[in-house]
Structure 1
Amino acid sequence: MLYPWQENLWQGWQQLLVQGRMHHAILLVAPHGSGREALARHLAKTVLCQNGAAGAGGEPCGVCHSCKLFDAGTHPDFHVIAPVQDGKQIGVDAIRQCNRWAVETSQLGGERILLIDGADSMGEAAANALLKTLEEPPSGCQFVLLASSLDNLLPTINSRCNKWRLAMPQEQETKRWVEKQLMQSIKLETVRLNGSAPIATQQFIEQGQDIRYTKLLAVFGDFLRPPNFGLYDVAGLCTKEGHNSLKWLSYFLVDCMKWQQGVTTHLVHSESLPLVEQAAAVIAPMTLLEQIREANSLYQKLERHPGLNAELLIVEWLIGFMNHP
């Protein structure tokens, strides 16, 4: 199933499929919660379709043996490589297995598809192992790489792929789409917290993260006011929610900095302006800037090294608000 915001990109892929000009390695840059996996799987199903992408107008027929196996999740020529869990790297062993699949003979006599979900989480050894295969691609093998950004991908991997970027809908479009799915109104700041990614926004609400974040924001706002009571309450809520909470709080602090500079529109926390105003009034501008940098640095550290003591590091970060006048 394709989502409405994917149609333009899909039409570009369809043209290449029909013309037989699809590159052997597609790199799709799109955030989590954009439905990127669904788009990649639709491409895979189309390429594997036994009635041919060109003959079916660039769409899978849905009735051939290949399409039925794909829908059942048992297609022998479709392989997915992904991190074992969020925050983990894709290791070199997984990529070596990927390379073995790449040179195997197709079991259905057609193409072979290798989907690497979270390609930007490959370790250096894994990326180098993949590079060798991308440089000399086996015949009849299609690679599809999914990444949130290009920052953590080796430039040599980038250069071997045909890059596509999936644009997110305008925030009001995302808001309307999610409200239609959930049959309820939602806050604009929820959309903005999730980068206007529709599925991420929907899941944020379905999983109750919006309620927990509202509580975290209230406790954080109380902590920021001298004499800074509730440090461990904030740290506990952040730890329970995971390191994404640091990203959300950094958005809040950026809004506070903007407020101090006289910017009062297009803030992420559009429905929490009283909290933004209160916090902006009690935090020194230099402290704000320093703490935003520290929050982003700590987020990156916890993202790369999930075994660290998150609560202790978050407590240390929060103390930074208390050590300044």
Structure 2
Amino acid sequence: MLYPWQQKVWQGWQQLLAQGRMHHAVLLVAPHGSGREALARHLSKTVLCRNGAAAMGGEPCGICHGCKLFEAGTHPDFHLIAPAQEGKQIGVDAVRQCNRWAVETSQLGGERIILIDGADAMGEAAANALLKTLEEPPSGCQFILLASSLDNLLPTINSRCNKWRLAMPQEQETKRWVEKQLMQSIKLETVRLNGSAPIATQQFIEQGQDIRYAKLLASFAEFLRPPFFGLYDVAGLCTKEGHHSLKWLSYFLVDCMKWQQGVTSHLVHSESLPLVEQAAGVMTPMILLEQTRQANNLYQKLERHPGLNTELLIVDWLTGFMNHP
């Protein structure tokens, strides 16, 4: 199933397929929660369809042997690798397995698909192992790489791929789409916290993160008022939510800086303005700027090294608010 915001990219791919001009390595840059996996799988299913869907620039038939195997998750010519868990890298051994798949003969006599979900999570050795295969692509093998951004992708990999960006809907469109799925009204704040990614926003609410984050935000804003009571309460709530809580709190700190500068519209925390105003009134611009920078650095550190003591590091970060003059 494709989502409405994916149609433009999909139509571009359909044209290339019909013209026989699809690049052997497609790189789709899209955030988590955008449905990027569904789009990549739809392309894979189309290419593997035995009734020529790709050549006609159409949709997979759904009834041929290839489509049935794909739907059952047992297609022998479709291969997927991804990080074992969030924050982990894709190792060189997994990529070497990809390279072996790339040169194998198709078991059904058609194309072979290798989908790398989280290509920006490849370590340098893994990326270098993939590079040679992308430079000298085997016949009949289609690579599809998914990445959240190009920042952590080796430029050499980037340059060997045909890049596509999946644009997220406007925030009001995302809000309406999620409200339709959940049959309830949602806060614009929730959409903004999730970068307007519709599925991420939907899951944020379905999993109760919106309720937990509201509690965390209230505790954090209260902690920021001297004499800084509740440090360990805030740290505990952050730790339970995971390192993503640091990203959300950094948005809050940025909103506080904007508020101090007289910007009162288009804040992420659009429905929590009293908390923004409260924190902006007691924190100096210097503290907000430095602690935002530290929050972003800590988020990236925990993203790369999930085995670290999250609570201890968050306590250390929170202490930074108390240590400023």
Q: TM-score, normalised by structure 1?
A: 0.99
CA distance in 1, matches of 2:196, 2:135: 35
Aligned to 2:158: 158
Aligned to 1:177: 177
Deviates further, 24-33 or 52-61: 52-61
Aligned to 2:243: 243
Matches within 5 A, 1:1-325: 1-54=1-54, 56-325=56-325
How many angstroms does 1:58 deviate by? 2.3
CA distance in 1, matches of 2:276, 2:219: 13
In the alignment, is the contact (CA less than 8 A) between 2:47 and 2:54 conserved in 1?
no
What residue identity is the alignment partner of 1:192?
A: R
Q: Tell me the alpha carbon deviations over residues 146-204 of structure 1, each in whole angstroms, 9 at most, x when there is no partner.
A: 00000000000000000000000000000000000000000000000000000000000
CA distance in 2, matches of 1:264, 1:141: 52
In the alignment, is the contact (CA less than 8 A) between 2:14 and 2:58 conserved in 1?
yes
CA distance in 1, matches of 2:212, 2:56: 47
What residue identity is the alignment partner of 1:197?
A: A
CA distance in 2, matches of 1:173, 1:54: 30
> How many residues are paired up?
325
CA distance in 2, matches of 1:323, 1:290: 12
How many angstroms does 1:53 deviate by? 2.6
Q: Tell me the alpha carbon deviations over residues 82-107 of structure 1, each in whole angstroms, 9 at most, x when there is no partner.
A: 00000000000000011111111000
How many angstroms does 1:56 deviate by? 4.4
Q: Tell me the alpha carbon deviations over residues 281-307 of structure 1, each in whole angstroms, 9 at most, x when there is no partner.
A: 000100100000000000000000111
- Unmatched 5+ residue regions in structure 2? none
CA distance in 2, matches of 1:232, 1:152: 33
What residue identity is the alignment partner of 1:49?
A: C
In the alignment, is the contact (CA less than 8 A) between 2:46 and 2:54 conserved in 1?
no
What secondary structure does 1:116 align onto?
strand
CA distance in 2, matches of 1:162, 1:300: 27
CA distance in 1, matches of 2:69, 2:28: 24
What residue identity is the alignment partner of 1:120?
A: D
What secondary structure does 1:28 align onto?
strand
In the alignment, is the contact (CA less than 8 A) between 2:17 and 2:56 conserved in 1?
no
CA distance in 2, matches of 1:43, 1:54: 9
CA distance in 2, matches of 1:241, 1:133: 39
Identical-residue share of aligned pairs (%): 89
What secondary structure does 2:80 align onto?
strand
What secondary structure does 1:321 align onto?
helix
In the alignment, is the contact (CA less than 8 A) between 2:20 and 2:55 conserved in 1?
no
Q: Tell me the alpha carbon deviations over residues 205-248 of structure 1, each in whole angstroms, 9 at most, x when there is no partner.
A: 00000000000000001100010000000001101100000000
What secondary structure does 1:320 align onto?
helix
What secondary structure does 2:322 align onto?
coil
What residue identity is the alignment partner of 1:173?
A: E
In the alignment, is the contact (CA less than 8 A) between 1:302 and 1:308 conserved in 2?
yes
CA distance in 2, matches of 1:187, 1:85: 30
- Unmatched 5+ residue regions in structure 1? none
Deviates further, 53-62 or 257-266: 53-62
What secondary structure does 1:315 align onto?
helix
What residue identity is the alignment partner of 2:315?
A: V
Runs of 4+ residues over 4 Å off in structure 1: none
What secondary structure does 2:321 align onto?
coil
CA distance in 2, matches of 1:77, 1:126: 22
What residue identity is the alignment partner of 2:184?
A: Q
What residue identity is the alignment partner of 2:218?
A: A
CA distance in 1, matches of 2:78, 2:273: 49
What secondary structure does 1:144 align onto?
strand
CA distance in 2, matches of 1:71, 1:173: 30
